[in-house]
Chains A and B, each alone.
Chain A
Amino acid sequence: MTARDDILANIRRARGVAGGEAPRRAAVEERLARAPTGIIPARARGDAAHRLALFRARVEAASASFATVADAAAAPDEIARYLRDANLPATLRMGADPRLAALPWAGTAIEIARGASDGHDLNAVSFAFAGIAETGTLALVSGPDNPTTLNFLPDNHIVLIEAADVVADMETVWARLRERFGKGALPRVLNLVTGPSRSADIEQTLLLGAHGPRRLHVVLVGAGEIGRQD
């Protein structure tokens, strides 16, 4: 007997089942097909203004910084300002996302590099797939548009997100992923990112910048000014 057969047989023996029983199979198929949502906290329920204000509040609570720009064309200037204010060199790595390629970078002094990171980049920018208001979380997907290495290797990670992509909760992101990638399928990597990297492994003292980015800057595109919500 292979290990696989043995383990499955052991489980079935302990459960007192043969494995093929129709009601058990039906219960599993039904859950996988319907993917019932459980309890979704009420906090993110409400209109877009509430959602965006909550998103901002949770992003900041997770020790990330936050800015808004009226439209995408204003993003390069905001990023240039951010780098300047943080005393960072005007360099930036990005993937092939057409939304990034279309921006007027030439109007800034930023030196652009493209493609995955080999670990020698200080700054990177990505476009998020979605934002989760409930927890101030960014959802990023792998691929040439926004390489996964950019989420982890650079010291400073800047993430752009469209206001229309800020949704209430994880479950809404799952629905959008199914729409984009198909039912039961995911991109190679889905990163949910809530704030910059940290560790509390030394005397339970929370320190930012463990192995991932030391700073995370979120730029919300196309929402106008967002009120603070605490």
Chain B
Amino acid sequence: MTVITDALCPFCGCTCDDITVVVEDNKIMEVKNACKIGVAKIKGHHRIKAPMMRTDKKGEFKEVSYDEAIEAASKILAGSTRPLLYGWASALCEVHKKGILLAEELGAIIDNTATVCHAPSTLAVHEKGLPSATLGQVKNRADLVVFWGSNPVHAHPRHMGRYSVFAKGFFNEKGRRGRKVIVVDVRKTDTAAMADEYIQLQQGSDYLVISALRAILAGQAAVVPDVVGGVPKEQLVKLVDTLKAAKFGAVFFGMGLTQSISRYKNIDNAISLITELNAFTKYVITPMRGHYNVTGFGNVCAWETGYGTAVDFARGAPYYNPGETAANDVLLRKETDAAMIIAGDAGAHFPADSVRQLARIPVIQIDPYWNPTTEVANVVIPVAICGVEVEGTAYRMDGVSLRYRKMIEPTHPTDVEILEKITERVRKIRGD
């Protein structure tokens, strides 16, 4: 029996690094400190045993060898004129590097799960930057925490305990009692139920409400209507006073902002609000990143290509224009003629029309688990689980880079091994 301490949880963007894992006979017997999602992720479930292939997507899969599957995958990719390499967020940075190299070789589009999560936040960062901080800064200093369109009780279960609401720190020894918590959302979530103040907006009116707050902050309350997005003006005026009174305010936003009607403009506006609040007191804003290493993909992709995701290598050099080059755009336009889905589940998390296009074209899946993407795949290559069976790098939601430990020996090849082989084969097939 071995006990691994200070292990990292490979599920959500909190990347908790205080996990204890008890291992016996290469099996994880016990997971301590993780939340219920983390425990499920680390313990795992029954896996895809061996590579599988089929030509008819309505037909049954046939088990094949890794070599056969890699050969088939390489042929599909090498023969494609507009391949899409999508997923990545549940894999380590070492995998991302191999993926970007493969995309270069293929002239492919590479995009990651941020495309249905926080890619709009990056668009806002292009316009306004991002005044942010590491989570420990919040833990030590924040006396006001705002969750806007985010629901950590469900999506980031230990965020409040480790970093934000309950965490005790140097300037805040009292933890929860030392800070005020405000939740802004469209329905009273479990997070909202714990807040000191809950502000309920009409769905889709975040942009309006943020604009009203900015107007009030700028001393222009007179132009604000009596009710904005379902919120009475008095409540907004009071909220601005509360925001200004904090010594250190931290705003955490989620898909309530990125996925509703105004998309990235919501965040653009929110960042402006935070920037303006800094004229009065200290404020930071942080996106609640979903997958544990979605932030890592954005970082690796940025330092290797200059752009964070949705990078099109068709020109031999990186090109980026989400709306044109993001995964759902190229699928909806039926441009994509082959796809490799790795460490992300487009089948489950893309709109039906995008999945329909995946069902029309050859699809390679690289993943430990059977999921909706498997249902539309032609070649399925099961791999080891990053962060449990494979060590390597991931970036927490605040950009802190951490090294994941290996908890048990893998029973399958790693993503890196598979990608290296595919890349090598693709080069040979293409004759360079």
Decide whether A and B are members of one complex: no
Which residues of B pack against A, CB within 8 Å?
none
